[in-house]
């Protein structure tokens, strides 16, 4: 049961607030009939590379990781990816569309301090938030770049607690990525897994199970 003592709410960015697959339109223009396959392969490898970087004790910022994942995804699908094409796709990642439920939810929760906690680099996060005209909605936009390790490292979640000045149990953490919600719960946040894709819950054990599962962000205000 979620306790009614939340003092702040923290959101993941990619897949939670911003639709990483809104780039399918451009991918399809560049590679007809292969756009969706490229977008999904790119996203999957992007996440895998963040985990591998952390496990190896290495760190490259999210922009570098994202471009490396794009190069691999194109090779794996036998698609040509010249420098100009890569630049066009990378620029699209700075202009991802927010999901339709984002703006009304943030407005409904404006009595809370709101923050973003993301794998994204500071430049990428500033760009995507500004593109969506959401800068004023957030008290903090927090990047893993400050600790140079990726989610789900506890050091990342600790950043939010430090920046907001609240204990983990006083922070609500919202993510559409089940593994990320699990990481936040294991750290001590009150977690809300936004199951946009209606997929099964992760098998990470009771200590990482989300407090609540929601299907759209608009369910969130009533739970606060």
Give per-residue pLDDT as tens, 31-60: 999 999 999 999 999 999 999 999 999 999
Q: Is 211 a catalytic residue?
A: no
pLDDT reading at 171 higher than 60:
yes
Please, what is the average pLDDT of the chain?
Answer: 96
Q: Distance between CA 11 and CA 117 in Å, rounded? A: 6
User: In 3-state terms, what secondary structure has residue 74?
Assistant: helix
- Give the pLDDT confidence score for residue 2 in this predicted structure: 44
Q: Could you tell me which residues are beta bridge partners of residue 191?
A: 173
Burial class (CB in 10 A: 0-12, 13-18, 19+), 181: buried
**Could you tell me what percent of the chain has a pLDDT over 90?**
95
Our measurement of the distance from residue 223's CA atom to the centroid of its chain's CA atoms, rounded to an integer in Å, reads: 21
pLDDT tier, 1 (very low <50, low <70, confident <90, very high otherwise): very low
Mean pLDDT of 89-106: 97
Mean pLDDT of 175-184: 97
Mean pLDDT of 212-217: 96
Q: Domains plus CATH for the chain?
A: 8-17+99-223 (3.40.50.1000), 21-94 (1.10.150.240)
């Amino acid at each position: 049961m979620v306790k009614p003592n939340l003092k702040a709410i923290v959101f993941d960015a990619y897949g939670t607030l911003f639709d990483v697959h809104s780039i399918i339109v451009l991918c399809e223009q560049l590679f007809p009939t292969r756009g969706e396959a490229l977008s999904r392969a790119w996203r999957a490898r992007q996440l895998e590379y963040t985990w591998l970087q952390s496990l190896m004790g290495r760190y490259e910022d999210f922009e570098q990781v994202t471009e490396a994942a794009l190069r691999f995804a194109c090779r794996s699908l036998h698609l040509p990816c010249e420098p100009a094409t890569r630049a066009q796709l990378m620029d699209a990642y700075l202009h991802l569309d927010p999901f339709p439920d984002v703006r009304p939810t943030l407005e409904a929760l404006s009595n809370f301090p709101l923050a973003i906690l993301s794998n994204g680099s500071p430049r990428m996060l500033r760009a995507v938030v500004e593109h969506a005209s959401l800068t004023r909605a957030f008290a903090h936009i927090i990047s893993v770049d400050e600790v140079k390790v990726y989610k789900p490292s506890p050091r990342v979640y600790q950043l939010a607690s430090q920046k907001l000045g609240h204990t983990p149990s006083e922070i609500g953490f919202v993510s559409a990525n089940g593994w990320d919600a699990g990481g936040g719960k294991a750290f001590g946040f009150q977690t809300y897994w936004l199951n946009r894709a209606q997929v099964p819950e992760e098998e990470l054990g009771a200590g990482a199970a989300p407090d609540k599962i929601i299907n759209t962000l608009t369910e969130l205000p009533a739970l606060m």
